[in-house]
Structure 1
Amino acid sequence: MHILAKPSEEVLRVTRLDAGYGGIRVVRDANLSVNVGEVVGIVGRNGAGKTTFISAIAGLIPVQSGSISLSGVEMSSLRPNGRVAAGLAIVPSGGRLFKSLTVAENLSIGLRRTDPQKLDSVYALFPELMSLRQRYAGKLSGGERQMVAIGRALVLGPRLLLLDEPSEGLAPVVRLRLAEAIKLLRASGIGVLVAEQNVRFAELICQRWYAIDKGSIVGWDNSL
């Protein structure tokens, strides 16, 4: 099941996707779409298959069957770096920063020398990071780490941004700040797919959502 969108507006289309680990099917016959400049949620309880779904789209686990296309280009057979080159970026659960590197160094890892304005746009989105540029990532708060993780993905210039449990472990006031930043990404034309267990946070940022349970899309709402 999925919500239909005009092909010209789509940045991501997933069709009848099966994916899992070691031959075990976790995601089952899943369909989903994300449009340009749209924030879409995958909501479900812990263990429902959200992270597996996101990982399959990013190429971190193999696709057993089905199709994943980015702006009309089939990606199912591409390795993760090929998907990044095609315009996909992922912020995994917990951010996974290099703790021994500074904020500036973490942000610059994926930065192309010919496109430094991407870094300026990150500091515009998260001005809090300007004063933290020389602080080691291991010394940051949970909210600051999440900002850096999202910024590191944005300097890649993605068409599609995947966020896996971005609100996990954050204080309510920090969640509100993060929600504000994610909503601002709509104006940039980036499509955003968010896997979230926290339904209230999803309500703050998503224009529509898909509900997942036991690896299957079991419902949706297009009016969040």
Structure 2
Amino acid sequence: MDAGYGHVKVIRDARLSVAAGEVVGLVGRNGAGKTTFLSSLIGMLPSTRGSIRLNGQELADLPAHERVRHGLVISPSGGRLFKSLTVEENLLLGLTQPSAAALDPVLQVFPELEKLRMRYAGKLSGGERQMVAIGRALILKPRLLLLDEPSEGLAPLVVLRVAQAIKALRENGIAMLVAEQNVKFTDLICERWFHIDKGVISTMAEAQK
């Protein structure tokens, strides 16, 4: 797959796959093309060449909201929560028919959010914001969950908590592609990972368990 901004090609001939229940890492420094690659997968940035397939369904020609309906969901870097909305409102934001029952899968993974449901997102800690961001993606029932820098800016103990949650989602059969700078975190949660530099994906490696 190729992708970029206008005439500027950022991603060049990118190829990788993720199986159900597998966590695959995409490791690279800041500016290497990780976020651009995830943005092109989700449809926020058009790909200029190639195929994006999920469960045999071609998604490359579909708009972003249709890709979400097929199960391709992203948790963006920094969470991008609405600070003036509560945790519950942020979690339910993407649903056409929001209900309290829809929160159950999120609270099973992040029971800490139960007591925070009515707290405004602007008053959350960094770790709490990340839990809400992942929960908001989870509530859309992803088949392939894209996680952009989930450990960024978090304290070590919170990083471990996020890793625990990702492992729990893997056991539920959700495929995940995790874009990270933190190689130690990638090794903690991924079976294998790829390196990306200047928009070129290469060097598949097995995680060191």
Fold similarity call, TM over 0.5: yes
Asked if 1:123 corresponds to 2:107, the answer is: yes
**Is 1:173 aligned to residue 157 of structure 2?**
yes
Conserved 8 A contact 2:92-2:98: no
1:204 aligns with 2:181: no
Q: Write the distance in 2 (CA, Å) between the matches of 1:39 and 1:23.
A: 32
TM-score (norm 1): 0.89
Q: Structure 2, unaligned stretches of length 5 or more?
A: none
Q: Deviations over 1:29-52 (max 9, x none)?
A: 110000001110000111111111
Match of 2:58 among 66, 74, 78: 74
Aligned AA (1:143): G
Deviation digits for residues 47-67 of structure 1 (CA, Å, limit 9, x no counterpart): 111111111101010101011
The number of aligned residues is 208
CA distance in 1, matches of 2:98, 2:116: 24
Q: Does 1:134 align with 2:114?
A: no
For 2:158, the aligned partner's letter is: V
1:90 corresponds to 2:74: yes
**4+ runs of 1 displaced by more than 6 Å?**
none
Aligned to 1:26: 10
Alignment pair present for 1:144 and 2:119? no
Please tell me whether the aligned partners of residues 87 and 119 of structure 2 are also in contact (alpha carbons under 8 angstroms).
Answer: yes
Amino acid at match of 2:206: N
Amino acid at match of 1:99: K
In structure 1, give the amino acid aligned to 2:204: W
* 1:166 positional shift: 0.7
Give the Cα separation in 2 of the matches to 1:99 and 1:189.
31
How much identity, in percent, do the aligned residues show? Answer: 64
Distance 2:96 2:62 in 1: 22
Q: Is the 8 A contact 2:25 2:180 kept in 1?
A: yes
Query: Residue 222 of structure 1: CA displacement?
Result: 3.1
- In 1, distance between residues paired with 2:86 and 2:11? 37
Equivalent residues in 2 for 1:90-109, closer than 5 Å = 90-109=74-93
CA contact (8 A) 2:186 2:207 kept: no
2:187–2:207: 8 Å Cα contact kept in structure 1?
A: no
* Structure-2 residue corresponding to 1:3: none
What amino acid is aligned across from residue 197 of structure 2 in structure 1? Answer: D
How far the C-alpha of 1:155 sits from its partner, in A, is: 0.7
CA distance in structure 2 between the partners assigned to 1:72 and 1:116 by the alignment: 33
Q: Distance in 1 between matches of 2:159 and 2:108?
A: 18
Contact in 2 for aligned 1:118/1:157 (Cα 8 Å): no
Between the aligned partners of 2:206 and 2:52, the Cα distance in structure 1 is 21
- Deviation, 1:201, is 0.6
**Residue 175 (structure 2) aligns with:** 191
Whether 2:199 is the aligned partner of 1:215: answer yes
Does the alignment pair 1:53 with 2:20? no
Whole-Å Cα distance in 2 between the matches of residues 40 and 223 of structure 1?
9
User: How far apart, in 1, do the equivalents of 2:26 and 2:43 lie?
Assistant: 18
8 Å Cα contact 1:118-1:154 kept in structure 2: no
- Give the structure with the higher percent strand: 1
1:41 match: 25
Aligned-partner SS, 2:52: strand
